[in-house]
Structure 1
């Protein structure tokens, strides 16, 4: 069971992180109008390297979301941010929704 689409009231844009190049980070083509639930709240989190940092927005989306850590996101208020960490929440066999949680810079 996936997170119900009627709960995903916001729309975000995602440019998936592809890695580093000689000129800095590389991003894939932007995926526009991705349904999500955005919560702009300040939280302490650990990034993909384990360093403690601050997240200013959390994004909940469908479980098949392609958004590796380091991706660029444009939030509903048009603010551009970076994905600090990504968690795929699954519970096979249980009646709870599956989703992807992205903690943003």
Structure 2
């Protein structure tokens, strides 16, 4: 049985607009959805989806199943709008650790 990250840890709210692809007029995004999350606005070096080293200025942890492909728009609790660099779905079936989704933001 897989457990999810406990709701009491998710103290913040973020708004995610999933990236749908590019059009002739620029990037397209899906409708915004609000999610409970744990947000840390700290600077970290990460690798983006192409393997290039870049800087993340915010890390977001939510419950599993978040729809947030790389390049999605994320509005943080501070009101700052950023872009998703990488998305990791953490699961550990059979182990006593919670499943979660981690988004590293630009």
TM-score (norm 1): 0.97
Q: Residue in 1 aligned with 2:13?
A: 11
Secondary structure, counterpart of 1:2 in structure 2 = coil
- Residue ranges of structure 2 left out of the alignment (5+ in a row): none
CA-atom RMSD, angstroms?
A: 0.6
- Tell me the distance in 2 between the aligned counterparts of 1:59 and 1:47: 15
- Tell me the distance in 1 between the aligned counterparts of 2:82 and 2:90: 22
TM-score (norm 2): 0.96
1:22 to 21, 24, 35: 24
- State the Cα distance separating 1:48 from its structure 2 match: 1.1
Q: Residue in 2 aligned with 1:2?
A: 4
Q: Residue in 2 aligned with 1:47?
A: 48
Q: What per-residue deviation string (whole Å, max 9, x for no partner) do you get for residues 39-79 of structure 1?
A: 01100001111111000000000011111111000000000
- Tell me the distance in 2 between the aligned counterparts of 1:23 and 1:51: 26
